Structure 1
């Protein structure tokens, strides 16, 4: 990958406690991870050389960063957020590749030029046949217009037959769970188009990076009757001492779910307004 998304807010929140050396080590490890598109082999000598760790303090900082932000699995250091971003990148690349094999977008027909009427603007009067007069001359434009109508291409029909349940899926997405989502959309007469499938795979990859399992996201969306993919949300019920701002935030979340599922919002007590001040 020559490019990856860098969320400044998320990164700052996760690294604000790091020293300058530790921050530099973590940044270099991430760049290496994305450039190679694969996890980092558990070889401390090679890793220290990659990040430029020379002193004992820098080597200890490297080991600390690996332990804090990566997980050692079968001899490789993995980063969940980076794995999800790389997976989303490959989904987008495979979709573009598939479109290219089908020839991309259909070409537009070339517009009729003035040559179709017997010459260009510069030699409009230099056609091989002399201009006709009388009834034949009056009838000629009508014949040309008739030819245009007969030879004009018919509008392209919408492509059909796309089956979102048979597309290639990333390793982190179970096919049975994906097929259950496709079947639910079909039952609601809202089948998943090719473009929608591509974007929904990107959504699932982003949710995975945030800690939401794709199966849980799909199950929550089916249970809620949503047309889009939404991760499950743990809603805390406000207690007797909850502030008005908290009740407003909870009501906003409820309204979002209602609108997403095309239902009508219900009444909710928002507190008493004091108009004496």
Structure 2
């Protein structure tokens, strides 16, 4: 089967149209389905479906299936996806090396980060991006906002050259990982929640544990700040957590900078901040062996932007 797939891929004429189809396919795989890839691609499901059908027709291979079980790659699809990542990586490395030989930074650079960065007081990410653009104006920068587990996997498979994310607990020996800043997480509820008016001194561990808790899909369901929370919902993004909290049905943790505006307007309340607080350490990571100068330049710009006043 591997030889069959290689034969089909090698005989695919790789023009701009074919590369675009392969990039759509790779994005669908990385996001776990057509619907989840809509935002990243800026396409409707119908358009994505059309692109996928055209790619399957050109390769004469069935790449994926959709049904009640969700989005699933076929064995051939998995092989084509891995081959596409190798192709994109080789193209980007070629463009980067040519630019370096010419004394300038060129090519494409894929950067991934989690959401809720724009309000972060510990990092001037927009300033870092401005600094990077000033140093590498000819580099085509692609930014993707994704969950930490997606960023981690994307770094491993080459779909991201640089990522900014909280620690995921696993060692990545083939990548340079530099701590950049720590983010304060606090426990919140909305004004419609039963705990909203209860004094902090009365918020016992048992009372907190009895509430419906909105957790993170990338966090283990374990004790947090000494409380064994009742995980009733989970989301990978801060905006998802905020939506759950504002429903008035859940309590959950948010970065303090992200929740500040809602606290000031009285929509959210911090619960027992002296006890229900922890910190997430964020890292910037990129390949250890032969990283592109563009990747090193962006990583350095992000690291330099940490802890600077806005």
TM-score, normalisation: structure 1: 0.24
Q: Rg larger in 1 or in 2?
A: 1
Name the one with the larger helix percent: 1
Name the one with the larger strand percent: 2
TM-score, normalisation: structure 2: 0.22
